[in-house]
Structure 1
Amino acid sequence: MSNEALLIIDYTNDFVDDEGKLTVGKHGQVLVDYIVDLAEEFRQAGKWVILPTDLHQENNPYHPETKLFPPHNLKDTWGRDFYGKLNDWYNEHKDEEKVYMYDKTRYSAFAGTDLDLRLRERKVDTLHLVGVCTDICVLHTAISAYNLNYDVVVHEKGVAGLTQAGHDFALSHFKGSLGATVK
């Protein structure tokens, strides 16, 4: 029997809201009910709900994304708050042991964090992924999870990319190159 965790990746205002600094827009906004319902399903089943969330410093000369993207997900800003109903859900449940936000500074939720250690301590072997961007942070997290021997499930109704082509590529890559379940 598997021990599962849900990772809600970067589902913040900066990535999803129309006013976000690096938004996927409407494609991401329509995911909110699915993501919140899935989070609640995992929470009620006593499973882990982890929210790996991008954290950046403005104009950081040492971070490669500074050259690639406008400043986004800056500490203590509206842009880093979770989008829509997810923000309400998180604020209602954030003090529960199995619900927590996780700071990350790279595309993969595993890069430069102790996420793998925490998951292994909790005997988690299957990761369910939702969030944005399908072809950036969700993809890199899935690749890291694959390389660390986790079973990966990507919820197609819970992910969106910056472009349709990138989104479609990532979904194909999850199945064809990572052996992930896409449902």
Structure 2
Amino acid sequence: MTGVPDDALLLVDLQEAFLDAPGLRDVRGELVSAVSVLAEAARCAGVPIFLISTEHSRDRSTWTLNMLDDDQGYLFHGDPGTQTLSELDTSGMTRIEKTRDSAWLGTDLLMRLHTLGVSRVMIAGVSAHACITQTARDAYAHNIRATVVTDAVADERWDHRRAVFDLLVADRQAELAHVQECVTRWSR
């Protein structure tokens, strides 16, 4: 194994419900392809991979404010929409469930990363303007360096994607990279 021992790959919200949204359906194949290349490179290099999904309880205890305001929940545990994208190979991935945009809030992600000696996370998945950005910002808050893998991130609000990436970089809270840069980094 040649890997970069202080990296981890975070794959966020690669779930059926998210990729069925308008604006995301058409990029599903591209996204899965990019994420698959990343995941395979991480596996080969011994980089830990965390598959992070959003799921809620029907009893309203995990609902966000907008869900409570609308009195309408979604992504309930066990529903078909919560399933990981069927064409994604999830072997060797550690699963973490979240209930908010950030992969850090209410999860044991920080403890797991500290146990593994991780100091940088590479982030890919859905959606750039929400879960990807919040996960990157919260990595910074936990003194974990973050890199957003831009060609392995999709968003239903494409008009906001570039702006949120620019803000992350300007605020020095994340770096940006492409899939091939990560593959090269992990193959050293």
- In structure 2, the CA distance between the partners of 1:65 and 1:24, relative to structure 1 (3 Å rule), is farther
- 2:126·2:153 contact (CA, 8 Å) conserved in 1? yes
Kept after mapping to 2: 8 A contact 1:7/1:49: yes
- Residues 23 and 60 from structure 1, CA distance in 2 versus in 1: closer, same or farther, beyond 3 angstroms? farther
| Residue 39 of structure 2 corresponds to residue 39 of structure 1 | yes
- 1:125-148 deviations in Å (ceiling 9; x for gaps): 010000000010111100100111
What is the CA deviation profile of residues 53-78 of structure 1, one whole-angstrom value per residue up to 9, with x for unaligned ones? 10113472762241469643221122
Identity %: 24
Q: Decide whether aligned partners of structure 1 residues 164 and 6 sit closer, same or farther in structure 2, where only a CA change above 3 A counts.
A: same
CA contact (8 A) 2:98 2:106 kept: yes
- Give, in whole Å, the separation in 2 of the partners of 1:68 and 1:136: 19
Contact kept? 2:137, 2:173, Cα under 8 Å:
no
Given that 2:5 and 2:47 are in contact with CA atoms closer than 8 Å, whether structure 1 keeps it comes out as: no
Aligned to 1:74: 76
Give yes or no for contact 1:33–1:85 (8 Å, CA) kept in 2.
no
Match of 1:16 in 2: 19
Structure 2 Cα separation of the partners of residues 62 and 126 of structure 1: 28
Letter in 1 for 2:52: P
Instruction: Pick closer, same or farther for the CA change 1:26–1:149 going to 2, 3 Å.
Output: same
Q: Among residues 138, 148, 153, which one is paired with 1:159 in the alignment?
A: 153
Structure-2 change in CA distance of 1:71 and 1:177 (3 Å): same
Provide structure 2 residue ranges, at least 5 long, that are not aligned to the other structure: 178-188
Q: TM-score, normalised by structure 2?
A: 0.82
Cα gap change, 1:75/1:153 in structure 2, threshold over 3 Å: closer, same or farther? same
Using a 3 Å threshold, how does the CA distance of structure 1 residues 68 and 136 change in structure 2: closer, same or farther?
A: farther
Aligned-partner residue type, residue 81 of structure 2: G
Aligned 8 A contact 1:10 1:52 in 2: yes
AA aligned opposite 1:109: A
Gaps of 5+ in 1: none
Q: Tell me, what secondary structure is at the counterpart of 1:111?
A: coil
Equivalent-residue separation in structure 1 for 2:49 and 2:59 (angstroms): 31
The 1:69/1:109 distance shift into structure 2, 3 A limit, reads: farther
Bigger shift: 54-63 or 24-33? Answer: 54-63
Per the alignment, residue 119 of structure 1 pairs with 113
Normalising to structure 1: TM-score of the pair?
A: 0.84
Aligned counterparts of 1:164 and 1:83: Cα–Cα separation in 2: 21
1:26 — aligned with what? 26
Paired residues in the alignment total 172
Aligned partners of 1:23 and 1:101: how far apart in 2? 26
Inter-CA distance 44–176: structure 2 relative to 1 (3 Å threshold): same
Q: Residues 68 and 140 from structure 1, CA distance in 2 versus in 1: closer, same or farther, beyond 3 angstroms?
A: farther
**In the aligned structure 2, how far is the partner of 1:23 from the partner of 1:69?**
25
Q: CA deviation at 1:84?
A: 3.7
